[in-house]
Structures are given as structure tokens and as C-alpha cells.
Amino acid sequence: MNKAITKATIPGLFVTGTDTGIGKTIVAAAIAAILRAEGMDVGVWKPVQSGEKIGNGMTDAERLLHLSGIHDRPEVVAPFTFEAPLTPMLAAKQSGVALTLKELIAAGAPLVDRYQALIVEGAGGVAVPLTEDAFVADFIAELRMPAVIVARSGLGTINHTLLTVSYLKKLGVHIIGIIMNDIEHIETIDDPSMAHNAELIERYSGLKVLGRIPRLDNAGYSVTLIPIFREKIELAPIRDAIAAQIMGG
């Protein structure tokens, strides 16, 4: 929607998803932790968050820092935090703040200075209003960051994922791949679609599914999450895309 702002180029990766509660925070944190363990100087950024107050450990900024093991201040990682459990644009409005893409990008400057690259977590999915005239997808395009899409593994995911892919492609966003997450899979419930979803998504999107995260008992703990992520998710395309941006200045 918003075309007026000069393109900013911030090295990094944008982690978006087909929905809220799909696994963006755990995926962003795991990627940051693993790349940092390999010596890459990446930070985390949650440009806007709503629904919780910083201090209780429940905000995405606090969870990103905790899970990735990065020592930074949640107020810097999430410069705009609104308590109302509403879509960011409305939550901001209720607090008397009219967000713009320019302000959102400017608020990330301390993080851009501090790290070589940023793993950015979006809010909700790509068609979530961030400002009066911009969706999350517009923000990703404005940042000129490549994206990964976190998608559920079960029934319904083909539709959500292909719509997300086509929306991002329309805006010229480079998509590195898709990470499937067994977020709602319970052992006792048989979902025969799961075996085929990744393959069909690859066929119709032309993109790579980088792997599938199994249902975890303790997804909120890095000791559980990170080894599983290493084992199940192909990180090379993400690593290469970020390294190329860092080297390209």
C-alpha cells in the first residue's frame, strides 16, 4: 500500500507465518541461536507487539531473547509494545499512537547498529494491518528482507501457505522457504493430509519446504527446541541468504 518511503535495506531475515500462534517466535529464536552459535552476529527484532506488557516474560521480545540466549533489552528489541490484545494498528491507535512504516523502521536503528543482521519477527500473518496504510507484507517489502514462512503441517495449510506465498511474491519479496510446524498435532489425532502437504506446497509454490518441526513437549525451552530445530530444519539456504547480505554491505 505505502509506496512513498525510500527503500531501506537492513540485512537479515523476516520470519512471517500463515497465522498468529503458528510458531514464528520459536522459529525466529531458534534461527538466531543457531546462527550465533556458528559465529554470525545476528540480533532479534520484533518491530511491534501487542497483547502483553513487557516485564512478565510473556512478550515476544522477551521470549525471543530468552530462547535465543541474546542479552539485550526487550524495550530495544520491541520498540512498540501495546497491551491491548488487538491487531497492532488498532492496539497502537487505542494507545494514541499512529504508527507509520517510517517510524517502525527508524525504531530499529539501534539494533541495526548493534548487530550485523537481524532476525525479524512479524505480527500475525502477511495481511495484518501494521499502520493505517500498510500491511505486514508492505513492511517486509520496504525492508527488502528475504522471508521465511512458518506454516502449520495439518489440514488447511495448503490454502493458507499458497495465499501467503502469492501475496508476498506480488510485492516482490524473496521467499527463502517454508518451515512447517506440527503446532496442533496431537499423537492420537490422525491427520492423513500431513504426509502430502509439504510436497503439494512445494509443487504449487515452486518453493522449498525447509523442514518440519514435530510437536514438542517443551517448545518454550531452548534445550528442547534448538537440537530438534538443528536436526529437522535445513538452515543452509537461510544462512547463505543472510551471509550474502552481510558481505554485500
Catalytic residues: 46
Give φ, ψ of 152 to 5 degrees.
-70, 155
| Residues 8/143, Cβ–Cβ less than 8 Å | yes
Q: Which residues contact 31 (CB under 8 A, 6 or more apart)?
A: 13, 15, 42, 119, 229, 235, 238
Nearer to ligand ADP, 17 or 146 (CB): 17
Nearer to ligand ADP, 21 or 206 (CB): 21
Partner interacting with residue 17 (select from ligand ADP, Mg ion, none; CB below 5-8 Å by kind) = ligand ADP
Nearer to ligand ADP, 24 or 160 (CB): 24
| Number of other residues whose CB lies within 10 A of the CB of residue 141 | 22
Residue 24 binds Mg ion, judged by CB under 5 A: yes
Q: Is 185 exposed, middle or buried (0-12, 13-18, 19+ CB in 10 A)?
A: middle
Cell 494498528 maps to which residue?
Answer: 89
Residue 60 binds Mg ion, judged by CB under 5 A: yes
What residues make contact with ligand ADP under the rule CB under 6 A? Answer: 17, 20-26, 181-183, 213, 215-216, 219-220
Only segment of 7-15, 53-61, 124-132, 235-243 that touches Mg ion (CB under 5 A): 53-61
| Residues 141/172, Cβ–Cβ less than 8 Å | yes
Decide: helix, strand or coil at residue 84. Answer: coil
Q: How far is the CB of 153 from ligand ADP (least distance, A)?
A: 9
Q: How far is the CB of 89 from Mg ion (least distance, A)?
A: 17
Question: Which residues are at the interface with Mg ion (CB under 5 A)?
Answer: 24-25, 60
